[in-house]
């Protein structure tokens, strides 16, 4: 099973040309679950689903910019409008939940995008608090994956809150302990604009919890869609993360453990 997460940079820059690179990346990577951020155009959402060939779509009516595509059936979904709002933003932040049926096992998927300014760590801490409450309300005891653009590095209080209080595993750091995994890279010209400029860093994540069950078979997490095409156009202002899990083996191992306990 493969999970991909990408902040798509809305319809900015040469966006149709950029999306051709994203579609090419989807075809090459073959993800089973896709979490996109900064998607606001319902007509384009339908085009994305059509071009990707992924059958199940979650795109809420809220102006969240969040969507999920899945090759697995969606049992139910819900969108949280966060109460914590940055004083520098005139819009809300959201978290999107989708409950998936994978080989007869539930997997809870959460997609989010937190406030972006460097000096707003305390805002993001409160947003993570809301996110964790949302997760506990809808996925307590369920295999869970949380992904998206957190706009924060791994050493910040908001990410430590995810890994310590939330008991989530940062899959990229777990799989690549010596690699910074830069997803916001100033070699990419689309990162220009923020004032002050933002340094190179990893601000995008795929977290997992209860990983010793369905997600026990974590094989790799890598950056994709992180270089320009032949024309010099980049897919987005962020790099994507692609996590690969050996789900069949982990499910069989869990069944074997259950049989052993029963015996």
What per-residue confidence (pLDDT) applies to 258? 41
What per-residue confidence (pLDDT) applies to 197? 86
Residue 103 clears pLDDT 50, i.e. is over it = yes
Length of the chain: 263
Domain layout of the chain by residue ranges: 2-262
pLDDT band at 255 (very low <50, low <70, confident <90, very high): very low
What per-residue confidence (pLDDT) applies to 46? 97
> Which of 172, 177, 252 has its CA nearest to residue 219?
172
Sign of CA dihedral 244, 248, 250, 251: positive
Chain mean pLDDT for the chain: 92
pLDDT, average across residues 157-168: 97
Domain spanning 2-262, CATH architecture: 4-Layer Sandwich (3.60)
> Which of 195, 185, 177, 258 has its CA nearest to residue 226?
185
Sign of CA dihedral 121, 222, 65, 95: negative
Nearby residues of 261 by Cβ (< 8 Å), 6 or more positions away: none
Return the higher-pLDDT residue of 257 and 168: 168
Q: By the 8 A CB rule, do 97 and 106 touch?
A: no
Q: What is the pTM of this model?
A: 0.93
What per-residue confidence (pLDDT) applies to 205? 98
What per-residue confidence (pLDDT) applies to 263? 38
């Amino acid at each position: 099973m493969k999970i991909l997460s990408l902040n798509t940079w809305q319809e900015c820059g040469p966006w149709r040309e950029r999306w051709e690179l994203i579609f090419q990346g989807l075809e090459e990577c073959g993800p089973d679950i896709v979490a996109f951020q900064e998607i606001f155009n319902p007509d384009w959402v339908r085009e994305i689903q059509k071009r990707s060939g992924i059958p199940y779509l979650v795109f809420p009516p809220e102006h969240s910019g969040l969507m999920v595509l899945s090759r697995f059936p969606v049992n139910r979904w819900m969108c949280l409008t966060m109460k914590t709002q940055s004083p520098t933003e005139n819009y809300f932040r959201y978290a999107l939940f989708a409950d998936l049926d994978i080989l007869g096992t539930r997997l809870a998927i959460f997609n989010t995008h937190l406030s972006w300014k460097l000096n707003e760590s305390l805002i993001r801490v409160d947003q993570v608090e809301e996110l964790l409450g949302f997760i506990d309300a809808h996925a307590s005891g369920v295999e869970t994956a949380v992904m998206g653009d957190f706009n924060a590095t791994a050493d910040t209080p908001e990410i430590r809150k995810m890994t310590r209080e939330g008991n989530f595993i940062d899959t990229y750091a777990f799989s690549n302990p010596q690699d910074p995994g830069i997803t916001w890279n100033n070699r990419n010209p689309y990162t220009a604009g923020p004032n002050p400029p933002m340094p190179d860093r990893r601000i995008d994540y795929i977290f997992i919890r209860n990983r010793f069950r369905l997600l026990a078979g974590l094989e790799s997490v890598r950056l994709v869609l992180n270089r320009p095409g032949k024309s010099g156009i980049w897919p987005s202002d962020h790099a994507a993360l692609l996590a690969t899990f050996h789900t069949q083996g982990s499910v069989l191992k869990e069944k074997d453990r259950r049989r052993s306990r029963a015996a």
